[in-house]
Structure 1
């Protein structure tokens, strides 16, 4: 069963509630396919989809692209998720 490790969400101030769309991408750090990324309308979640035997370290780069209703680029944001896997099993 997948485990959610991190979430990222696009929000707008109340007085600037323009319609926008969001696209999420996992840019790097998933060479061994331990993770996936699921996307809702304005929120995404990085998930661990299979067991990892430690010690291991991962640096996953996520990108969030925000577009307005006419598909013009409003913003690009990156999140760097650092994951350390212990050699012990708990």
Structure 2
């Protein structure tokens, strides 16, 4: 009996992602007793590498409003993406 073939190997290869399309930026915020803190995760999709957060990263600043915190996190995330595109690890 032949060994089963995975579904992924039967499908067409995924198109190569380039530039900003190769990244997922997830920005949000969370409320603390000191204010609202931005939360951020940046993922490079081609190799599933987490660009942010990384060990030793600096804390994000506090904000009065959740919208401002989320906007800050998203802008910071895209800055990290642009930096990774310019100088990939």
Work out which of the two has the higher radius of gyration on C-alpha atoms and give 1 or 2. 2
Under a length normalisation based on structure 2, what TM-score does the superposition of the two structures give?
0.29
- Which structure is higher in helix share? 2
Under a length normalisation based on structure 1, what TM-score does the superposition of the two structures give?
0.29
- Which structure is higher in strand share? 1
